[in-house]
Structure 1
Amino acid sequence: MPLSRTQMDAMMDQHFGFEQADDVEGVLATLTDDAQHDIVGWPTGPTIGPDGARSFYEALFADLSDGRIETIRRLYGEDFLVDESLWRGKAPGRPFGLEGRGRPLEFRLLHVVEYAPDGRMKRENVWIDLAAILQQLPQ
């Protein structure tokens, strides 16, 4: 039986909550063992499963801090969700290879998530507004 919109929202919000808490293990627990994890443009390309996604989240949590996500809109299908959000926080590290120097940062995110019947993500595709990041973190 397909997940309801409410169930998909709860799972996406839980995933974002783990991200905001810099909780690597929590985020990885939201993925299936064979999940496709694809941060478009990330140097490793798509990875498979929680172990494949681990290095991305470890780098992300080292490079960004105090992050908050504001959902702008969500679209739903039978077993998928498209989430447009705005991320706001600070860049103490080197997000996406750029010197953050602790500066404030905000950028849009687009997630396309497919869910397994148990509610975990079997596919997470993420597009990041790199142009906005480049404007805010000039080198």
Structure 2
Amino acid sequence: MTLTPRDMDLKIDEHFSFEASDDIDGVLQTLSEDVEHDVVGWPFGPSHGRNAARAFYAATFSDLSESSVKCIRRLYGDGFLVDESLWRGRAPGRPFGLEGRNRPLEFRLLHVVEFNDDGDIKRENVWLDLAAIMQQLPRD
């Protein structure tokens, strides 16, 4: 099965929608059973499998709130997409080890997402603008 850009858009938009509502089970259902989940800089490194990815989402959803993701651009290839987005929300917890103090936060994200033949996300590689996060959540 060849995925079209529209197919990929539907899956990644569904994924982002579950993230925006802090729905861990929903997010995990967009991933393949054997997903490789890699958020660059995450102290525990890449994870493999849905259950292993759960820890990242549980931590992130307690550290960040009121999230919205605005797509800036997407590039498509055979079974993959690259998504550049802008994340906006609040930081009530300790995102990326920094004290959020419920301050507003905005940063760019780059997702490299590969899909399996069923249209599920089989690899999610995420790069975020940590310099922008550190500037907005300085250590006092």
TM-score range relative to shorter protein: over 0.9
Secondary structure of the residue aligned to 2:45 is coil
TM superposition shift of 1:66: 0.2
**Mind listing any 5+ residue stretches in structure 2 that lack a counterpart?**
none
Residues 76-131 of structure 1: CA distance to partner in whole angstroms, max 9, x if unpaired?
A: 00100000000000000000000000000000000000001111100000001000
Secondary structure of the residue aligned to 1:25 is helix
> In structure 1, what is the Cα distance between the partners aligned to 2:70 and 2:34?
28
The letter for the 1-side match of 2:120 is R
* Residues 1:130 and 2:115 aligned together: no
TM superposition shift of 1:12: 0.4
* Residues 1:107 and 2:140 aligned together: no
- TM-score, normalising length: structure 2: 0.98
> In structure 1, what is the Cα distance between the partners aligned to 2:118 and 2:57?
23
The letter for the 2-side match of 1:108 is R
* Residues 1:88 and 2:92 aligned together: no
**Mind listing any 5+ residue stretches in structure 1 that lack a counterpart?**
none
- TM-score, normalising length: structure 1: 0.99
* Residues 1:42 and 2:42 aligned together: yes
The letter for the 2-side match of 1:72 is I
Residues 51-88 of structure 1: CA distance to partner in whole angstroms, max 9, x if unpaired?
A: 11000000000000000000000000010000000000
**1:78 maps to what in 2?**
78
> In structure 2, what is the Cα distance between the partners aligned to 1:2 and 1:113?
15
Identity of aligned residues (%): 65
* Residues 1:18 and 2:18 aligned together: yes
Matched residue count: 139
